[in-house]
Amino acid sequence: MALFLLLLLTLMIPSSSFAQWPPSPGYWPSSRFRSMSFYQGYRNLWGYTHQFVDQNALTIWLDSTSGSGFKSVKPFRSGYFGASIKVQPATRGQHPGFHDEVDIEFLGTTFGKPYTLQTNVYIRGSGDGRIIGREMKFHLWFDPTQNFHHYAILWTPKEIIFLVDDVPIRSYPRKSDAIFPMRPMWVYGSIWDASSWATEDGKYKADYRYQPFVARYTNFKAAGCSAYSPARCRPVSASPFRSGRLTRRQYRAMRWVQSHHMVYNYCMDPKRDHSLTPECWH
């Protein structure tokens, strides 16, 4: 099982024009969770020669020989997982097996176009020959290559919420056990070459003349109920409400982002077989 906080990257040069910022959500869940150093919560998984830690910031890079990835030291069954990330103007990055997966990924693009931030949910579907992605994609309201921004996933037994700088951009509620990840998951991060499918459906490949492709992580956060926590462990919340339900201001901010910056919604794709995605029926 995998909970990917990023990174998928491919060659791109971002657009210089950005729209206005979303309305304030009125609540900042990241402030409720203490930051940790990389080694407090994570370990290298692969490509150890392509990552280093300096002053609590992790740098990972991709070149023609390898990418790099890391993994949490323990699995979770719910929680808040985030990091502040900065990518460069030339970057890109699956995890095989029969598993659940919740993703935030940066996809590459071509000259003059912005990064695409993809959110995705797999339920027992990756690697079994019947991959069912539940993608929603966004062009952000800022240039993610200029500064660190905080990207997070809030996963509870009732709902998954994706956040960017504490602004909810997507909610995936639990409508049935069959279409919601319930098994314990590890937290992963990586950078690797997935340009065979990621950059405009594989039209453009990574150009290694521009290597290395670099991303930096800092302000790591991972809090919640681990797989080893007692049953009485309460899921964390992304709102002031103990129930975890978003506030009206948070919903308003999320609707604004989806109306102004969402560029793809799998539920609205007429090419998809929606008999496989019953959550889209209503």
- What is the pTM assigned to this prediction? 0.87
Q: What's the pLDDT score for residue 107?
A: 81
What's the pLDDT tens digit per position in 103-128?
999 886 566 678 889 999 988 754 44
> Residue 86 above 50 pLDDT?
yes
In angstroms, how far is the first alpha carbon of the chain from the final one?
A: 28
Count CB atoms within 10 A of the CB of residue 34. 9
Q: Annotated catalytic sites, by residue? A: 101, 105
Q: 136 to each of 168, 169, 224, how far by Cα in Å? A: 13, 10, 25
What's the pLDDT tens digit per position in 188-242?
999 888 766 555 565 667 778 878 888 999 999 999 999 999 999 999 999 998 8
Residue bearing the bigger pLDDT, 100 or 75: 75
Q: What's the pLDDT score for residue 218?
A: 95
Average per-residue pLDDT for the chain = 84
Q: 144 to each of 32, 64, 164, 192, 252, how far by Cα in Å? A: 24, 24, 11, 18, 23
Instruction: Grade residue 135 by pLDDT with cuts at 50, 70 and 90.
Output: very high
Query: 201 in the Ramachandran plot: left (φ > 0), alpha (ψ -120 to 50) or beta?
Result: left
| DSSP per-residue codes, 142-165 | S-TTTS-EEEEEEE-SSEEEEEET
> CA 230 to CA 239: how far, in whole Å?
23
> CA 132 to CA 279: how far, in whole Å?
12
The verdict on whether omega for the bond into residue 25 sits within 30 degrees of 0, i.e. cis, is no
Closest CA to 10 of 146, 170, 201, 169: 201
